[in-house]
Amino acid sequence: MAVELHHFLAEEDDCDYLPKERATLEYRVLADLKPDELERLLERGWRRFGPVVFRPACRGCHECVSLRIPVADFRPSRSQRRAQNRCAHLAVDIGPPRVDEERLALHARWHAAREQARGWEESPLDAVDYAWQFGVGDACAREVTYREDGKLVGLGICDDTGTAYSAVYFFHDPERARLSLGVNHVVTLVERAKAEGKSFVYLGYRVMGCASMRYKAGFRPHQLLVGRPGLGQSTEWRRGA
């Protein structure tokens, strides 16, 4: 059973997704989180990043809505199929997360491109930071790597609960942007989940007022969580438009 080391509500701050809005997050720091325990958290709108799970706790705003794909029903759109076709030549592997110079260099190139294009703040990662954030050695964490002629060009961090995948983070070579690696990664997770008999792929929060979070609604059909149920409460997921 997971051990809760800390549970707190962050101070209200400017929202990262919606201009002029204020936001706050509820956090739990957990040790020894098991896959079935993570599944119950995902079902109730929590997300995991390293040893921390979190979910929105904003007053008066419910724009961040948890979204999941029922893999048995998913049908890729035309643009998603095109992304899949553009990436068909890549070698794909899934396994426990690792940290090495190749992975650190890819993340650094991707983040530098985001800093230039989107005004992100610098966020250098060394091996210790990478391992902590991306779950190296964690029971639930997996990485999906994409290689072109042996070169690492994309990497996705996800969680495996046994019955679902949860997409956590994705970064790629900015020179391969034309391949739509991020879209292909979601389709790959769905296909892997289906092949392994899993029920869902969780994509985190859909925020319709934010372009970088709105794209998740394009994976159909999908389900949306109603409200913010507690750990002892039942959940309701409705089919999204």
**CATH number belonging to domain 66-241:** 3.40.630.30
Token readout for 58 is: 């904003």
Average pLDDT over residues 102-110: 97
What is the model's pLDDT at position 118? 82
Average pLDDT over residues 13-41: 94
Q: Between 51 and 69, where is the model more confident?
A: 69
Mean pLDDT (the chain, rounded): 95
165: pLDDT confidence band, cut at 50, 70 and 90? very high
Distances (CA, A) of 234 to 72, 220, 229: 23, 24, 7
Average pLDDT over residues 75-82: 97
Question: What is the per-residue pLDDT across 107-143, written as a single tens digit (0 to 9) for each?
Answer: 999 999 999 988 888 888 999 999 999 999 899 999 9
38: pLDDT confidence band, cut at 50, 70 and 90? very high
**Full-model pTM:** 0.96
Q: Is 81 exposed, middle or buried (0-12, 13-18, 19+ CB in 10 A)?
A: middle
What is the model's pLDDT at position 206? 97
